[in-house]
Amino acid sequence: MQKDKKKFYQAKWFLWLWLIIFPPVGLILLWTCHKEMKNKTRIILSVVFVLWFIILITSTNGTKDGIEDGLNEANQSNPQVTQGSDSSSEAQSPKDLPTAIDGSCRAMTKKFVEKVVEEDYSMLAYSVEEFDLDENENETIKILYLPSNAGDGATKVNLTINKDDSTYKIEYALLSGLYEVELDELSKEYTEFTAN
């Protein structure tokens, strides 16, 4: 008598491979091809690998919309200074921007995006690209507003804000890297801010 030879998909290694990399296939194999296992064992394995599949799905869902979200978050926690070709520039690191100034620039950017660009504002899209403040904490701050869906219709906004004591004024605005905004034509409500 000849012993029945198992097919490759009935092998235990094949079952474990699919249970780990894609549990739905592994569970189908477990219940259809491995009836020699006790029901209690198959139930326990099913519960464990369903949980494993849920973990896989939720961990990849957060990055589903792309690397841009992750890059934006990384830029928020570890911003870099954008240096020009002038190597003697002593621009300060964005992480050294005083909190009150950063808050005022965020508020201006939010108002500009919502009222002038007429789009929803995303806090994660905001980053300070460069600034150069004097000893009185005046001068310029360059802001980049880059929404994760900028390629799908949302607008990238570059702002240069001039700070003079408690007055902030948008000196330059560029939309989508192409269109310079005529700031003189806008209400000062959208281009100037005085901090208390």
- Extents of the domains making up the chain: 8-61, 67-78+91-194
| d(C-alpha 28, C-alpha 32), whole Å | 6
Instruction: Supply the pLDDT for residue 95.
Output: 60
pLDDT, block means (10 residues), the chain with 196 residues: 69 86 88 88 90 82 48 46 39 67 87 90 86 86 87 86 90 88 88 84
Instruction: Supply the pLDDT for residue 47.
Output: 92
Residue 108 burial by Cβ neighbours in a 10 Å radius (0-12, 13-18, 19+):
buried
DSSP-based three-state secondary structure for 141: strand
pTM comes to 0.52
Phi-psi region of 6 (alpha: psi -120 to 50; beta: other; left: phi over 0): beta
| d(C-alpha 83, C-alpha 13), whole Å | 54
Instruction: Supply the pLDDT for residue 177.
Output: 80
